[in-house]
């Protein structure tokens, strides 16, 4: 079976060639492959909540897919968003317990609703904020920093960075951090809530989404990830 890194490499190639509908297909496959490769192990083995939450990384690639469909002018963006939301609902009910991961799942749902042009994004983000506030109220700075570098959290941060770069702008780091300069889950979420729809609209109007020095995982990275899960 092809590894998700191969699907991501192919998606990147199609993005470079400005074939965005094809890129969307391969980002979709990468997301599905990630979920398939981790789901059974997570369900059947007693592993920590960190590994359980990593399953959410697959849904970030559905965000990339939906955005590529939007840039191509394809109505499939709504289909991909709806599929991602159904998957997130299932994951939330069966696999994840920690408020950081629950919050991320609602953040991703809010993102997909915005990208797909679906209603309910504000409610999803509001629920995510409640969970992230709990994390920030109960965890120290180093613990919060560790969350922002976890797979899933890191990928969704890169996603918003690529959107801003794609429209010729840049994320102001101060907008994603607390007054003390430390990364903030709630600040990042509020930024995405307020900016994501506008950024996707601007990309769609341009019809181009350039890739900015994005290091996709290699086959070796993929094998290491699977060994860690297994």
pLDDT in tens, 148-191: 777 778 888 889 989 999 998 877 767 778 777 778 899 989 99
Between residues 48 and 126, the one the model is more confident about: 126
Confidence (pLDDT) at 145: 79
Determine the Cα–Cα distance for residues 183 and 147; give it in Å rounded to an integer. 10
Q: What are phi and psi of 102, to 5 degrees?
A: -60, -45
DSSP class of residue 177 equals B
Q: Does the pLDDT of residue 54 top 80, yes or no?
A: no
CA atoms of 147 and 136, how far apart (whole Å): 10
Q: With a cut of 90, say whether residue 114 has pLDDT above it.
A: yes
CA distance 58 to 76: 18
Distance between CA atoms of 221 and 75, rounded to whole angstroms?
Answer: 33
Q: How far apart are the C-alpha atoms of 101 and 173, rounded to whole Å? A: 23
**146-177 burial string, b = 16+ CB within 10 Å, else e?**
ebbebbbbebbbebbebbbbbbeeebeeeebe
Mean pLDDT of the chain: 84
pLDDT band at 122 (very low <50, low <70, confident <90, very high): very high
**Which pLDDT does position 170 carry in this prediction?**
79
Q: pLDDT at position 226, please?
A: 45
Q: How many residues does the chain have?
A: 230
The residue among 54 and 60 whose pLDDT is bigger is 60
The percent of residues above 70 in pLDDT, for the chain, comes to 84
Q: Does the pLDDT of residue 118 top 90, yes or no?
A: yes
**Does 134 have pLDDT greater than 90?**
yes
Tokens of 137: 């109220």
Give the pLDDT score at 223: 37
Alpha-carbon distance of 105 to 56, in angstroms, equals 7
- Beta bridge mates, 183: 177
pLDDT at residue 221 is higher than 60: no
| Whole-model pTM over 0.75 | yes
In this structure, are residues 76 and 24 in contact, taking their beta carbons and an 8 Å threshold?
A: yes
Average pLDDT over residues 96-103: 84
Report pLDDT digits (tens) over 179-200.
777 788 999 899 999 999 999 9
């Amino acid at each position: 079976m092809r590894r998700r890194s191969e699907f991501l490499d192919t998606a990147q190639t199609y993005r470079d060639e400005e074939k965005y509908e094809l890129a969307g297909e391969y980002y979709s496959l990468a997301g599905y492959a990630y979920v398939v490769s981790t789901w059974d192990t997570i369900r059947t083995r007693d592993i920590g909540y960190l590994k359980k939450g990593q399953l959410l990384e697959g849904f970030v690639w559905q965000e990339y897919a939906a955005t590529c469909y939007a840039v191509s002018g394809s109505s499939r963006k709504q289909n991909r968003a709806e599929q991602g939301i159904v998957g997130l609902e299932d994951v939330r009910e069966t696999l994840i317990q920690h408020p950081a991961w629950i919050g991320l799942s609602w953040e991703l749902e809010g993102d997909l609703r915005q990208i797909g042009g679906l209603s309910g994004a504000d409610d999803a983000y509001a629920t995510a904020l409640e969970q992230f506030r709990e994390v920030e109220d109960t965890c120290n700075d180093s613990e919060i920093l560790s969350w922002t570098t976890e797979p899933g959290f890191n990928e969704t941060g890169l996603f918003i960075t690529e959107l801003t770069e794609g429209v010729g702008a840049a994320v102001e780091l101060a907008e994603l951090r607390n007054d003390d300069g430390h990364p903030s889950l709630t600040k990042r979420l509020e930024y995405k809530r307020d900016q994501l729809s506008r950024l996707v609209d601007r990309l769609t109007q341009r019809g181009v989404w350039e890739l900015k020095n994005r290091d996709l995982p290699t086959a070796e990275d993929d094998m290491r990830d699977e060994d860690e899960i297994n």
